[in-house]
Amino acid sequence: MILGPLFLLGLYFLPLWNIMLGAPQYPEPLGMNIHINGIRGVSEFDIQNIDGLNHYIGMRTLPKDEDMWEFSAFPLIVGGMIALGVLVGLLGYSNKLTYKWFIGWFLLMSVLGVLGMYDFNNWMVDYGTNLDPNAIMKLENPDGTPMTYKPPLFGHVKMLNFDVTSLPAPGAWMMFVGMSLTLAAGYLGWKSSRITPDVEISARLV
Amino acid sequence: MKRFAFKIGILLSGMALLFSGCNQGGKSANNGALSSSAAEKVYVAPGEQDAYYAFLSGGYSGNLTVYGLPSGRMFKEIPVFSQFPTSGYGYSEETKPLLNTSHGFIPWDDLHHPDISQTNGELDGRWIFVNGNNTPRIARISLSTFETEEIIEVPNSAGNHSSSFITENTEYVVAGTRFSVPVPQRDMPIKEYKGNFKGALTFISVEPEHGHMEIEFQVIMPGFNYDLSHPGRGKSHGWFFFSTYNTEEASSLLEVNASQNDKDFIAAINWQKIEEYVKNGGGTRVPANYAHNVYDESTHMATSTMKKEVLTVDPTEVPGAVYLLPTPKSPHGCDVDPSGQYIIGSGKLSADITVHSFDNMLAAIEGGQFDGEAYGIPILKFEEVLAGTVKSGGLGPLHTEFDGNGNAYTTFFISSEVVKWQLGSWEVVDRKPTFYSVGHLMIPGGNSRKPFGKYLVAMNKITKDRYLPTGPEMEHSAQIYDISGEKMELIYDFPTHGEPHYAAGCPADLLKPNSKKIYRLDENNHPYGIKSPADARVERDGKDVHIYMSTIRSHFTPDNIEGVKVGDRVYFHVTNHEQDFDVPHGFAAIGANTSEILVMPGQTKTIIWEPKQVGVWPFYCTDFCSALHQEMQGYIRVSAANSNMELSWSVGD
């Protein structure tokens, strides 16, 4: 339970999510990495070039770090959760807290994670559909509705000439590993409460 | 006989077709020569890339062309000595100074011999050097931007032909004169040539970090014609070898009068000895006037400086520095094998190739084996320095390069062929026709310690029926041979641009990773560049109007300009704000008495527009930059010379 939350430290230097945009004339795709504190280009000028392309279809420029409250709040929330998790782990190690706290931390983290994804998805909906009415290119779907450009939360879609792929990035994978470890800790703790002390010690460590 | 051979050729190619047809259906693909298809060897599938870069000189185009091997596809034409409206080179205010000389602005030259920079005798891919033959100049081209970065004029020279070859650590780029002339220039009878005209061999140092060139010294040689040259390498590093013709010192009807001596010379220059002599205060500083033009990648501008002095060296003052090696029949090519042991002189009026030995040369010098002297320069005994003679069976050898496996390949202009022969045994191994009248050839790295002996490119002077006819004037043809086997195989034939006299090549991997994609806008230090559209503006300074303009897909900032008057000089300073690979913007204004400019991402370029009539005149982007390229346009309003119209500018109002 001590080790698990520490995996979340990865979020401070590794991206949480990655969106790649490839097209025939972009054999080296453009890409953005979403970090908990802002959006960065995969290559140095990708953000500028994505904004340059998006202006044709009336999308706003990608938010700077200071443009979204999330980018200042997320680092604090993640930091709080790491501190809380380590504290719970330490107290669990000295038998002051039970495994139920481990599971409690996991559930709280999961709820926050889902809320984060929900928030992220809302932003993408807004970013991809709230378009400049004077956009250079106003395209319609086959059914006559205006075409929108929300990137996928997960997986691949074809958007005009671009193949857009959105997937969790190494920061998220580290978070998943960390969270799995805390879940495992909870499980082992639950088991040990019924069987042997060996398992209990490993649960606290994990 | 010729017709018979031609028929056999047709028959054979017909058989080859049949056989290759069979092979497609059959299973055995590797049973003999007929199954190895030349098409497969040169085919670089769509989306694939070539294995080698080839840089072919453009001769009278003044440019250098970049090709891929084995496909023969042309990638780029690099403007060097000639104005190039495609990019605005030599027209833009930033690049005009590159073409400045002591004779003023010169829009053209005859570009001959590219040579890639070397370290320890191997290609290092930093720069490529080329010579301007007509108004003697040497240029340095960056192999990360593939743009001309520097041009230095060579004083006391005329017909800068035995150039621009480099020593094995790029210590010097060497420029020898073809024409001997009065040094210094003066008014004198042409008939008094003999004994009075001189030939300057110029050693230009190359600063190792930035490549900047500086004339270190000129060796003032007898008035022969210095044709081609090559550096010693390996054991002969420190020496440089120049072929000569017209040792008769004729000034008229040279085709006869310069062909009388049975032997001319290869001049061997111990430049390390002269370098030492100069470092110890030797030589004479004489007045001169020559341009040194340098392009700065950060300001995107060139500056031209006139130099007023040059250090000359009288070779007779430096004992042991210069010797003459008798070489038959007006030698053209003067080539040194990868080991540095053999110096090959191609007597262009002869059937044979003369090979001198560096070791023999040293021994002959040591043993005092002289055969007289010319103007105080010792002539070594021919038999003492000779290593061997290649009895080629061809006629008119010109130029030799090497495959690194002990073989040499020589072009024969008169008999139109490439002959492969063995170093040491001097035996001919193979010969293949070229189409037609081959001048020079190139094997990537073939002029270094480490050749890449896979392909050979033969550059021909006569095209005739090789391609669909295009009237009297045709591009020259080149042929690619696969030389990886014992026998050479002609695998491709492609037209070139201008007249390639020489070429240099290297593996693609040497240059590919360093090729620049964009110029960084945040490193743009052009005095009229702008880093943000917010800085776009128009300023008046008397009759000069400076427009600080930016471009990004797909508009100019500003795109509406008013307050310009008839008689103004309008400077359009265009900064491309793109930071995306291969997204240039162009700029052209109606009635501009100059070319367009093509501005690379992050770059600033300037053209001058001088309005002569009132009106509202358009300008536009000349490069198809985006789906809205056609909308990338603007207007400039021109008022009468005495108008009170104030300057104003805008975009999107």
Q: Is B241 found in the same domain as B117?
A: yes
Position B32 confidence tier, pLDDT thresholds 50, 70, 90: very low
| Residues B290, B217: Cα–Cα separation, whole Å | 14
Where residue B484 sits, what CATH number does that domain have?
2.130.10.10
A60 pLDDT tier (thresholds 50, 70, 90) = very high
Contacts of A46 in chain B (CB under 8 A): none
Statement to judge: residues B238 and B115 lie in one domain: yes
Gap from A67 CA to chain B (nearest CA, Å) = 21
- Asked if B312 and B439 sit in the same domain, the reply is yes
Indicate whether B416 and B276 sit together in one domain: yes
Residue span of the structural domain in which B605 resides: 521-650
Q: Do A52 and B552 touch (CB under 8 A)?
A: yes
> Is A34's pLDDT higher than 90?
yes
pLDDT tens readout for residues B94-153: 999 999 999 999 999 999 999 999 999 999 999 999 999 999 999 999 999 999 999 999
- If asked whether residues B463 and B559 sit together in one domain, one would say no
Do A48 and B627 lie within an 8 Å CB cutoff? no
The verdict on residue B60 lying in a domain is yes
pLDDT tens per residue across span B336-378: 999 999 999 999 888 999 999 999 999 999 999 999 999 999 9
Reference B151, options B163, B137, B172, B167; nearest CA is B137
- Shared domain check, B157 and B59: yes
Q: Are residue B497 and residue B625 in the same domain, yes or no?
A: no
Residues belonging to chain B with any Cβ–Cβ distance to chain A shorter than 8 Å:
518, 552-553, 578-581, 626-628
pLDDT at A85 over 80: yes
Give the pLDDT band (50/70/90) at residue B411: very high
End residue of a domain, out of B514, B543, B561: B514
Reported as a single tens digit per residue, the pLDDT across B388-398 is: 999 988 999 99
For β-strands B569-576 and B544-552, DSSP reports them as: parallel
- CA-nearest of B224, B223, B225, B219 to B314 is B219
Q: Is B30 a residue whose pLDDT tops 80?
A: no
Mean of per-residue pLDDT scores for chain B: 94
Shared domain for B525 and B505, answered yes or no, is no
Question: Could you tell me if residue B548 is inside a domain?
Answer: yes
pLDDT tens by residue, A167-177: 999 999 999 99
Q: Is residue B22 part of a domain?
A: no
Q: Is the pLDDT of residue A94 over 60?
A: yes
B578 and A56 in contact by Cβ < 8 A? no
Distances in whole angstroms, Cα of residue B35 to Cα of each of B26, B68, B110, B243, B430: 11, 25, 43, 43, 21
- Global ipTM: 0.85
- Does B18 map to a domain? no
The CA-based angle B118-B122-B127, given to 5 degrees, is 30
Distance CA B524, CA B548 (A): 14
Rounded to 5°, angle at Cα B22 from B18 and B28: 130
Instruction: Identify the residue whose tokens are 């240039």.
Output: B584
Q: Evaluate whether residue B291 is within a structural domain.
A: no
Domain identity same for B138 and B278 = yes
Helix residue spans in B327-435 (DSSP H): 358-366, 382-385
pLDDT at B350: 87
Angle, helices A70-93/A99-129, rounded to nearest 10 degrees: 170
- B646 and B500, same domain (yes or no): no
Among candidate residues B53, B59, B63, the one with its CA nearest the CA of residue B147: B63
The three-state secondary structure class of B152 is: strand
- Backbone φ/ψ region at B52: left (φ over 0), alpha (ψ -120 to 50), beta: beta
pLDDT value for A95 = 82
Token output for B562: 């008013």
Which chain A residues contact residue B581 at CB under 8 A? Answer: 28
B596: domain CATH number is 2.60.40.420
Out of B499, B514, B529, pick the residue that ends a domain.
B514
Q: How many other CB atoms are there within 10 angstroms of residue B529's CB atom?
A: 23
Cα–Cα separations (whole angstroms), residue B2 to B5, B7, B8: 5, 9, 10
pLDDT confidence band for A196 (50 / 70 / 90): low
**By percentage, how much of chain B surpasses pLDDT 90?**
91
Which tens digit of pLDDT belongs to each residue from B188-224?
999 999 999 999 999 999 999 999 999 999 999 999 9
Of the three residues B471, B488, B514, the one that is the final residue of a domain is B514
- Residue A197: what pLDDT? 59
Instruction: Enumerate the β-bridge partners of residue A59.
Output: none
Q: Evaluate whether residue B255 is within a structural domain.
A: no
- Please compute the mean of the pLDDT values over residues B557-576 and round it to a whole number: 98
> Which residue of chain B is at minimal alpha-carbon distance from A30?
B580
CB–CB of B634/B653 below 8 Å?
A: no
pLDDT band at B467 (very low <50, low <70, confident <90, very high): very high
Give me the number of domains chain B comprises: 2
Q: Indicate the domain borders of chain A.
A: 3-205
| pTM listed for this prediction | 0.91
Partner residues linked to B153 by β-bridges? B137
- Asked if A52 and B581 come within 8 Å (Cβ–Cβ), the reply is no
Evaluate whether residue B287 is within a structural domain.
no
Q: What does the pLDDT read at residue B259?
A: 86
pLDDT for residue B22: 40
